[in-house]
């Protein structure tokens, strides 16, 4: 089944003072073949004031975007129950829904609202899991919706949902010759973008700490690159390196104590680790060719990186203790900018074949390689913390956009931005 669903989210973001900022809009360009039919019924609400967000609508969009679900259109629904007590299962069997999500929103009259929800199995006519309730402020309806999406996804797939995660990305806006670079953080669905840093000089290579509280990135100042770390909650920023030459590609270690990074202070690009507390540098690689784009293995024992020591750039691994280096990729004209899935099972790279750059997925057990993306000038792949999706930067009509592809290659969608180039996505870890 091929899908072309344009989800135009018409959300009254009245509570968000910054809502004038351009948001990413999701466009699903293809879907998986075996989809789980679910009805997400509009949540019941009897208050006088209109709600700032359509919670069920956000849940429906989340589930649709996951590529696992097929959602029953609202206009086809025969009844709109808001709790399991008033569900007529016959209505949902007729619509061929296997599951129904029902819920309600009630005003607590203290500035918060109670959002309740239940997931029901139409075939067995039983509830899946518990009925849950959340008390949220109006500004957190989207958080509540993503929480519900995570619950539904986990209940029905057994895999933890990643709807409550966030993405970092860089935009370049304005005059192409002198743009304004902005490092932004948004919900994983592109909503609620917020500027973290803005500069007239380039910003690149954003990276999350493993607890999701800090970020690292490269920013130029006075025409020279430095690595910065910054606390998201406070904005507190610290310049970590400003060596002569490259200061690039920071990657947080799984234990949060170190950054892997690239410095050329000793003449050519090498991978180092920097202990953030002690500022002690340790050199990981030693080769006269380019070594760059480090990323940690999930257990922190090895660092995966790009090197052209064999001629064309390919992916290598250096053992953090022994410093032994081994080559990992062998297919394609070149492979760069690798990332591992959280379980370490798959490696995604930017692979070049016949002049085209695409996101490739290599099974670390079998060595089998598949090309995941078919867009133009694909780069900067980043993986959702549940390992299900790969987001990457690509180019469409001369403009940088973000796109997402599932690890199985079946689901693809784009997140075009209203203005400016969007690049360098970095998917957050789980926040709890």
Partner 1 sequence: MSVSKLGKFAVVGLSAAWLAGCSTTATENDSAAMSEENGQAQAGSSDSTYAAGEGGSLNSVIVDDGAEGAAAAQMDQNSLDGVATVFYFDFDKSIVRPEAREALAKHAQYLIDNPDARIVLEGHADERGTREYNMALGERRAKAIMRYLTIQGVAASQIETVSFGEEVPVAFGHDSSSWQLNRRVEVRYE
Interface residues for partner 1 in 101-120 (CB under 8 A)?
112
For residues 200 to 229, the per-residue mask of contacts with partner 1, x marking binding by CB under 8 A and - elsewhere, is: xxxxxx------xx-----xxxxxxx----
CA nearest to 181, candidates 432, 427, 422: 422
Q: How far is the CB of 248 from partner 1 (least distance, A)?
A: 5
Instruction: Name the one range near partner 1 by CB under 8 A: 32-40, 66-74, 243-251, 360-368.
Output: 243-251
Q: Is 422 in the site for partner 1 (CB under 8 A)?
A: no
- Of 90, 93, 130, 137, which one interacts with partner 1 (CB under 8 A)? 137
- 345, 362 Cβ separation under 8 angstroms: no
C-alpha to C-alpha distance for 227 and 205, rounded to whole angstroms: 9
Residue 306 sits in the site that holds partner 1 (CB under 8 A): yes
Q: By CB under 8 A, is residue 432 in contact with partner 1?
A: yes
By CB under 8 A, the count of residues binding partner 1 is 81
Does residue 244 interact with partner 1 by CB under 8 A?
Answer: yes
Q: Rule CB under 8 A: is residue 286 a binding residue for partner 1?
A: no
Identify the CA nearest to 384 among candidates 322, 349, 427, 350: 427
- Whole-number Å distance between alpha carbons of 426 and 295: 12
* 3-class SS of residue 214: strand
Contact 335, 327 (CB under 8 A): no
Name the residue nearer to partner 1 (CB basis): 73 or 398: 398
Q: Which is nearer to partner 1, 79 or 198 (CB)?
A: 198
Give least dist CB 133 to partner 1, A. 9
Among 31, 161, 313, 385, the residue binding partner 1 under the rule CB under 8 A is: 313
Minimum CB separation of residue 211 from partner 1 in Å reads: 9
| Interacting span for partner 1 (CB under 8 A) from 53-61, 196-204, 383-391, 412-420 | 196-204
Helix axes 55-65, 141-157, angle to 10 degrees: 40
Residue 59, both tokens: 């849940």
36-55 residues in contact with partner 1 (CB under 8 A) are none
Instruction: Find where tokens 């080559």 sit.
Output: 327
- In a 3-state reduction of DSSP, which class is residue 164? coil
User: Is 248 near partner 1 (CB under 8 A)?
Assistant: yes
Q: Name the minimum Å distance from CB 374 to partner 1.
A: 17
Cα(283)–Cα(277) distance, rounded to whole angstroms? 17
Beta partners for residue 392, in sequence order = 403
Q: Which stretch binds partner 1 (CB under 8 A): 55-63, 118-126, 238-246, 278-286?
A: 238-246
Q: Tell me how far CA of residue 430 lies from CA of 161, 167, 213, 303, in angstroms.
A: 10, 11, 10, 21
Contact 279, 243 (CB under 8 A): no
Q: Give the position of tokens 């949540």.
A: 43
- What is the C-alpha to C-alpha distance for residues 431 and 405, in angstroms, rounded to an integer? 22
- Encoded tokens for 109: 């009259």
Task: Tell the smallest beta-carbon distance from residue 420 to partner 1 (Å).
Answer: 13
Q: Site mask, partner 1, residues 143-182, x = CB under 8 A?
A: xx--x----------------x-----------xx-----
Site pattern 351..390 for partner 1 (x: CB under 8 A): -x----x-------------------x-xx----------
Nearer to partner 1, 71 or 273 (CB): 273
Dist. CA 115–CA 210, nearest whole Å? 30
């Amino acid at each position: 089944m091929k899908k072309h669903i344009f989800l135009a989210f018409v959300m009254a973001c009245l509570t968000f003072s910054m809502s004038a900022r351009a948001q990413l809009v999701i466009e699903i360009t293809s879907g998986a073949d075996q989809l789980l039919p679910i009805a997400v019924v509009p949540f019941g609400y009897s208050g006088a004031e209109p709600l700032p967000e359509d919670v069920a609508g956000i849940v429906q969009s989340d589930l649709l975007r996951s590529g696992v679900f097929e959602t029953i259109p609202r206009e086809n629904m025969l009844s709109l129950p808001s709790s399991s007590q008033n569900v007529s299962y016959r209505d949902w069997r007729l619509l061929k829904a296997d599951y129904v999500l029902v819920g309600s929103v009630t005003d607590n009259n203290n500035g918060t609202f109670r959002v309740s929800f239940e997931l029901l199995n139409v075939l067995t006519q039983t509830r899946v899991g518990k009925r849950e309730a959340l008390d949220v402020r109006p500004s957190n309806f989207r958080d509540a919706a993503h929480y519900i999406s995570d619950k539904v996804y986990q209940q029905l797939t057994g895999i933890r949902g990643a709807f409550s995660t966030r993405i970092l990305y860089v935009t370049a806006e304005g005059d192409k010759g002198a743009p304004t670079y902005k490092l932004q953080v948004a919900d994983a669905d592109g909503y609620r973008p917020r500027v973290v840093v803005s500069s007239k000089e380039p910003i690149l290579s954003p990276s999350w700490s493993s607890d999701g509280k800090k970020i690292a990135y490269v920013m130029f100042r006075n025409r020279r690159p430095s690595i910065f770390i910054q606390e998201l909650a406070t904005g507190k920023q610290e310049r970590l390196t400003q060596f002569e030459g490259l200061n690039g590609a920071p990657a947080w270690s799984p234990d949060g104590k170190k950054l892997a990074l690239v410095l050329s202070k000793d003449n050519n690009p090498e991978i180092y680790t920097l202990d953030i507390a002690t500022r002690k540098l340790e050199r990981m690689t030693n080769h006269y060719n380019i070594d760059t784009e480090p990323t940690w293995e999930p257990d922190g024992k090895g660092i995966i990186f790009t090197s052209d020591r064999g001629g064309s750039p390919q992916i290598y691994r250096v053992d953090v203790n022994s410093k032994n280096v081994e080559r990992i990729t062998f297919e394609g004209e070149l492979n760069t900018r690798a990332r591992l899935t959280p379980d370490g099972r798959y490696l995604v790279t930017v692979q070049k074949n016949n002049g085209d750059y695409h996101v490739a997925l290599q099974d670390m057990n079998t060595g089998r390689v598949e090309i995941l993306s078919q867009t133009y000038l694909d780069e900067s792949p980043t993986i959702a913390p549940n390992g299900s999706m790969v987001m990457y930067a690509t180019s469409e009509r001369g403009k940088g956009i973000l796109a997402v592809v599932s690890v199985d290659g079946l689901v693809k969608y784009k997140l075009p931005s209203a203005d400016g180039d969007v690049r360098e996505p970095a998917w957050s870890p789980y926040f709890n």
